[in-house]
């Protein structure tokens, strides 16, 4: 529960889509971090493996990145694990 009234008002003004976007962005970032930890890899390892800068990977793991499907596919391919599972 949020006890800060200013923060509560700000959150109450967000659209359901904005809230869902934020939740998904954090979920994907958390999933990447968990896979890296499980594999004993660092953000730097991911950046090098994908030909990206450390700063870009840091933004991805910050939880506010608007991931494209292309980026998700690239990360999944490199890590060898799904970030998002879609029922078929």
pLDDT tens profile 54-78: 999 999 999 888 899 999 999 999 9
Q: Is 51 left (phi over 0), alpha (psi -120 to 50) or beta?
A: left
pLDDT for res 7: 66
What is the pTM (predicted TM-score) of this model? Answer: 0.82
Q: CA distances (Å), 64 to each of 3, 23, 80, 88, in order?
A: 23, 9, 23, 28
Residue 11 binned pLDDT confidence (cut-offs 50, 70, 90): confident
SS3 32: helix
* Region of residue 80 (phi > 0: left; psi between -120 and 50: alpha; otherwise: beta): left
Between these two residues, 37 and 64, which has the higher pLDDT value? 37
Domains in the chain, CATH or no CATH each: 16-79 (1.10.260.40)
The reported pLDDT for the residue numbered 13 is 82
Q: Is 43 helix (H, G, I), strand (E, B) or coil?
A: helix
């Amino acid at each position: 529960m949020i006890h800060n009234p200013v923060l509560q008002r700000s959150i109450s003004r967000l659209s359901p889509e904005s809230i869902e976007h934020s939740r998904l962005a954090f979920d994907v970032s958390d999933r990447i971090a968990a896979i890296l930890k499980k594999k004993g890899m660092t953000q730097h390892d991911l950046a090098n493996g994908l030909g990206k800068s450390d700063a870009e990977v840091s933004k991805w793991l910050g939880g506010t990145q608007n991931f494209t499907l292309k980026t998700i596919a690239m990360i999944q391919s490199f890590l060898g694990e799904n970030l998002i599972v879609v029922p078929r």
